[in-house]
Amino acid sequence: MRAAIFRNFQGPIAIEQVPSPIPGDHDAVIELKACGICRSDWHAWMGHDTDIQLPHVPGHELSGVIASVGKSVRQFRVAQRVTVPFCCGCGACFECKLGNTHICDKHSQPGFTHWGGFADEVLIRRADTNLVALPDSIDFISAASLGCRFITAFRALVDQAKLKPGEWIAIHGCGGVGLSAVMIAKALGAQIIAIDIQPNRLESARQFGADFLVNPSKVDPVAAIGEITRRGAHVSIDALGHRTTCANSIECLAKRGRHVQVGLMLAEDSHPAIPMASVIAKELEIYGSHGMQTTHYPRIFEMIESGAIHPQRLVTNTVGLHQGAQLLTQFAEFPNSGMTIIDFSL
Residues 193 and 314 in one domain: no
For residue 223, what are the domain limits?
Answer: 152-288
- Ranges of H-type helices in 307-342: 321-328
Is the distance from CB of 65 to CB of 80 less than 8 angstroms?
yes
Is the distance from CB of 118 to CB of 342 less than 8 angstroms?
yes
pLDDT (0 to 100) of residue 210: 98
Strand partners, 132: 83
What is the C-alpha separation between 208 and 313, in angstroms, rounded?
Answer: 9
140 within a domain of the structure (yes/no): no
What pTM value is reported for the model? 0.90
Q: What is the CATH classification number for the domain harbouring 175?
A: 3.40.50.720
Residues 203 and 258 in one domain: yes
pLDDT (0 to 100) of residue 144: 95
Q: What is the pLDDT of residues 129-145, one digit of tens each?
A: 999 999 999 999 999 99
CA neighbours within 13 Å on the CB side: how many for 42? 18
At 47, the amino acid letter reads G
Residue 309 dihedral angles phi and psi, to the nearest 5°: -135, 155
- The pLDDT mean for the chain works out to 94
DSSP per position, 97-157: HTT-GGG-TT-B-BTTTB--SSBSEEEESSHHHH-EEPPTTS-HHHHHHIIIIIHHHHHII
Is the distance from CB of 329 to CB of 118 less than 8 angstroms?
no
CB burial of 94-112 (b: ≥16 within 10 Å; e: otherwise) equals ebbeeeebbbbeebbbbbb
Q: What is the DSSP letter of 333?
A: G
At 335, the amino acid letter reads P
What is the C-alpha separation between 291 and 210, in angstroms, rounded?
Answer: 23
146 within a domain of the structure (yes/no): no
Nearest to 82 by CA among 118, 128, 119, 20: 128
Nearest to 166 by CA among 208, 223, 226, 211: 211
Q: What is the pLDDT of residues 251-263, one digit of tens each?
A: 999 999 999 999 8
296 within a domain of the structure (yes/no): no
Q: What is the DSSP letter of 159?
A: I
Residues 256 and 332 in one domain: no
Residues 276 and 329 in one domain: no
Residues 51 and 87 in one domain: yes
221 SS3 class: helix
Is the distance from CB of 250 to CB of 222 less than 8 angstroms?
no
pLDDT (0 to 100) of residue 263: 84
145 within a domain of the structure (yes/no): no
Residue 203 dihedral angles phi and psi, to the nearest 5°: -65, -40
Taking residue 229's Cβ as centre, other Cβ atoms within 10 Å add up to: 20
Is the distance from CB of 120 to CB of 32 less than 8 angstroms?
yes
Split into its structural domains, the chain has a count of 2
301 within a domain of the structure (yes/no): no
pLDDT (0 to 100) of residue 266: 65
Residues 273 and 315 in one domain: no
Residues 120 and 205 in one domain: no
Residues 177 and 282 in one domain: yes
Is the distance from CB of 7 to CB of 55 less than 8 angstroms?
yes
Residue 168 dihedral angles phi and psi, to the nearest 5°: -85, 130
Residues 163 and 209 in one domain: yes
Residues 280 and 330 in one domain: no
Nearest to 56 by CA among 107, 116, 134, 124: 116
Strand partners, 235: 169, 258
Residues 232 and 315 in one domain: no
Count how many residues are written for the chain. 346
142 within a domain of the structure (yes/no): no
Q: What residues of the chain score a pLDDT lower than 70? A: 265-266, 334-337
234 within a domain of the structure (yes/no): yes
305 within a domain of the structure (yes/no): no
pLDDT (0 to 100) of residue 336: 63
Q: What is the CATH classification number for the domain harbouring 68?
A: 3.90.180.10
Residues 67 and 181 in one domain: no
